[in-house]
């Protein structure tokens, strides 16, 4: 699986919980979506129904349809920081990084809670923006415990990784692991740096630790497969790609790797 902003991890950690993506057709005219629209339109003052519709559209990949629904709510309540967070997440899903940053920034201005601040740190780190340090410092000032400390340390590590300072990045990933060893993104980021340097044995060690901590974490097996494939160990690569695909049937990279090797 390709590395990228850890949207799922953040949405699971905070108030706006992530939900499993439903295997529904991406069709806004589907009975499911039409039912939700009818409910929301019949109860125009119900924020909950409108948010349910937005969540369904987002889950089905209908981001362009979700954004006008969010904007409609923001027009009525522009100081609701949760709505700006929701908009930022949908924009992030569409690949609109600039728009997402603006929305998360607006949310943080209204109420500087960890949710929008860490979402900003995530995007700043990925786009090599040094403002990640300022934002992470604001989160650290909240003194909300080791779990949040692990995220701010992780994002600064991602920043250095994207900037090419691998040694500093790995040190920060290790520090983040010390704060919270269950933050699996640390292992993927750390191991992938070893992989990039063709230190496959070191990378495999990292990914095996990840699999030992969470044996249902598909990426830990997928990355082991990548390492074994690079080492020309075809049987081990196939075994790990298969494990990854069993755990995550939507892991297209693993599926493609198996077709390539078989």
Q: Tokens at residue 153, please? A: 């340390």
**Which residue stretches of the chain are H helix?**
7-13, 31-42, 47-59, 63-76, 81-94, 97-110, 114-126, 131-141, 146-163, 166-179, 185-196, 200-213, 218-230, 234-247, 252-261
Task: Give backbone dihedrals phi and psi of 45, rounded to 5 degrees, phi first.
Answer: -90, 0
Which of 71, 112, 111, 73 minimizes the C-alpha distance to 91?
71
Contact 13, 7 (CB under 8 A): no
Pick the closest to residue 245 from 257, 233, 227 (CA basis): 257
Q: Delineate the domains of the chain, giving CATH numbers in brackets.
A: 194-262 (1.25.40.10)
The closest of 239, 203, 209, 240 to 222, measured between CA atoms, is: 240
Q: In which residue are the tokens 């701010």 written?
A: 152
pTM summary value: 0.82
Contacts of 119 (CB under 8 A, 6+ apart): 10, 85, 88, 89, 92, 100, 104
What pLDDT score was predicted for residue 15? Answer: 34
Per-residue burial over 204-243, b if 16 or more Cβ lie within 10 Å, else e, is bebbbebbeeeeebbbbbbbbbbbbbeeeeeebbbebbeb
pLDDT value of position 4: 53
pLDDT of residue 1: 58
pLDDT at residue number 42: 78
DSSP annotation of 137 reads: H
Per-residue pLDDT of the chain (262 residues; tens, 9 = 90+): 545 555 434 543 443 333 333 334 445 557 878 788 787 777 877 788 878 888 888 888 888 888 988 888 898 899 999 999 999 999 999 999 999 999 999 999 999 999 999 999 999 999 999 999 999 999 999 988 999 999 999 999 999 999 999 999 999 999 999 999 999 999 999 999 999 999 999 999 999 999 999 999 999 999 999 999 999 999 999 999 999 999 999 999 999 999 999 8
Residues ≥6 apart with Cβ < 8 Å to 105: 116, 120
Contact 194, 202 (CB under 8 A): yes
Placement of tokens 């995550």 in the chain: 248
């Amino acid at each position: 699986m390709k590395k990228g902003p850890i949207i799922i991890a953040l949405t699971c950690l905070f108030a706006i919980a992530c939900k499993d993506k439903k295997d529904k057709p991406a069709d806004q005219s589907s009975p499911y979506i039409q039912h939700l629209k009818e409910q929301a339109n019949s109860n125009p003052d119900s924020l909950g129904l409108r948010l349910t519709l937005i969540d369904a559209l987002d889950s089905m990949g209908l981001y362009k349809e979700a954004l006008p629904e969010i904007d409609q709510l923001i027009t009525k309540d522009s100081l609701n920081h949760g709505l700006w967070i929701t908009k930022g997440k949908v924009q992030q899903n569409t690949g609109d990084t600039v728009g997402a940053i603006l929305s998360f920034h607006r949310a943080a201005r209204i109420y500087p809670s960890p949710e929008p601040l860490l979402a900003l740190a995530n995007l700043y780190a990925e786009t090599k923006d040094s403002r990640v340090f300022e934002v992470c410092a604001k989160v650290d000032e909240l003194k909300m415990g080791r779990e949040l400390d692990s995220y701010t340390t992780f994002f600064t590590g991602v920043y250095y990784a994207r900037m090419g300072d691998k040694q500093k990045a790995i040190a920060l990933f290790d520090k983040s692991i010390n704060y919270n060893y269950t933050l699996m993104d640390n292992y993927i980021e750390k191991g992938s740096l070893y992989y990039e340097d063709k230190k496959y044995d070191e990378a495999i060690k990292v990914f095996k630790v990840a699999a030992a901590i969470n044996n249902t974490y598909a990426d830990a097996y997928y990355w082991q497969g990548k390492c074994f494939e690079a080492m020309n160990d075809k049987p081990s690569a196939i075994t790990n790609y298969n494990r990854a695909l069993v755990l995550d049937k939507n892991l297209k990279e693993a599926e493609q790797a198996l077709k390539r090797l078989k």
